[in-house]
Amino acid sequence: MNEVGIDVSARSFVAEVKRQGRIEQGTFANQPGGHRKFIAWATRRGQPARVCLESTGVYSLGLALALHRARRVEVMVANPKAVRHFAEASQVRAKTDGVDAGVVRRYLAAMAFVAWQPPSEEVLQLQGLSRRIGQLKKEQTREKNRLHAVEHQGPALKLVAHDIGVQIRHLERRIEQLSRHARRLIEGDAALRKPFELITSIPGFAHTATVQVLGELATLPAELNAPQWVAHSGLDPRPFESGTSVQRPRRISKCGNARIRAGLYMPALVAIRRDPNVKAFYEKQLARGQAPLQAITAVMRKLLHALWGMLRNQQPWDGNKFYAITTKA
């Protein structure tokens, strides 16, 4: 069986195959035509292929789905952090697309193969709806900022202000329409309905934020644990140290799904105001010397841990499990 490692980027991907003891590399377009060419290349002469690629969100999902549907192809989607640690342990210092593809292929050969199971059609639909709603909300914010600037220039730009207002109302209608579609989709699917109810039990998680977060979390492999969720979202703290002289404060890696981070931010702010346990945890971080933004990030990270536990155990929000408030005697 041919072993293939893939390094995926937005427009293309590099693949390395070990075929009858020989190493070959190829570059393919990251679009349906390129996917078909790669499958033919990987399974040349009717040979089956095992393919491994990293989970890189939107760039890898389409390719992984095409590989899952292909005959004579088995696909494994690896955690990027695990592959990076494997590269470090292998003392790989160079970083190019070709080198990365080789690292993924050797990772595939060294680790136990775990076949990837794609998300359901309903989950993929929800993810698509939530991402589109997010795009429209960003555009709505831009238009509101433009309207604010135009209104300060007086009546000379009254017509421009009116046109921007029309666009804002149009965006609001489209967002509301897509939100209704997302809600109907969730209500009609038991696998989405229960997680939605659990997430909305958390103070701060309204419908829109829950759709955004659930649309991303529901696509993650079931075997991931809470720290892996944190790493996937890029909320894992990364130390920056060198010898004894460089000891910079830790910062989150941001090497992951930015949509999960964005979806957690506003709920974290609301939960800090509304939930006494979340507020106590936030104030504890401030007392330890963290800046407000660092403390908010810590709340987001802990909320993600809480979400993992709630969905895994099918239990609603319990503030005391998030952070127990101790009272002095």
**Residue 49 maps to which CATH number?**
3.30.420.40
- Which value, in Å, is the radius of gyration of the alpha carbons in the chain? 23
Q: Is residue 259 one of the residues assigned to a domain? A: no
Q: Is residue 64 one of the residues assigned to a domain? A: yes
Q: What percent of the chain has pLDDT over 90?
A: 72
Q: Is residue 43 one of the residues assigned to a domain? A: yes
Q: Is pLDDT of 243 > 60?
A: no
Q: Is residue 76 one of the residues assigned to a domain? A: yes
CA pair distance 164, 144, nearest whole angstrom? 8
- At 14, phi and psi to the nearest 5? -105, 135
Q: Is residue 32 one of the residues assigned to a domain? A: yes
Q: Is residue 36 one of the residues assigned to a domain? A: yes
Q: What is the DSSP string of 62-102?
A: HHHHHHHHSTTEEEEEE-HHHHHHHHHHTT-----HHHHHH
Q: Is residue 162 one of the residues assigned to a domain? A: no
Question: For residue 273, what is the DSSP state?
Answer: H
E strand or H helix at 36? helix 32-42
Q: What is the pTM of this model?
A: 0.78
Burial letters for 285-296: b for 16+ Cβ neighbours within 10 Å, e otherwise? beeeebeeebbb
pLDDT digits (tens, 9 = 90+) for 187-232: 999 999 999 999 999 999 999 999 999 999 998 877 788 998 898 8
Quote the domain boundaries for residue 69.
2-110
Burial letters for 216-255: b for 16+ Cβ neighbours within 10 Å, e otherwise? bbbbbeeebebebbbbbbbbbeeeeeeeeeeeeeeebeee
Q: What is the DSSP string of 109-160?
A: HHSPP----PPPHHHHHHHHHHHHHHHHHHHHHHHHHHHHHHHTT-GGGHHH
Angle at 139 between CA 135 and CA 141, to 5 degrees: 115
Confidence of residue 241 (pLDDT cuts 50, 70, 90): very low
Which residues face 25 on adjacent strands?
Answer: 16
The mean-pLDDT minimum among 80-94, 127-141, 144-158 falls in: 80-94
Q: Is residue 103 one of the residues assigned to a domain? A: yes
Q: How many domains does the chain have?
A: 1
Q: Is pLDDT of 97 > 90?
A: no
Predicted local confidence at residue 245, as pLDDT: 46
In sequence order, what are the residues at sequence separation of 6 or more whose Cβ sits closer than 8 angstroms to the Cβ of residue 286? 292, 295
pLDDT digits (tens, 9 = 90+) for 16-66: 999 888 999 999 999 999 999 999 999 998 999 999 998 876 678 889 999
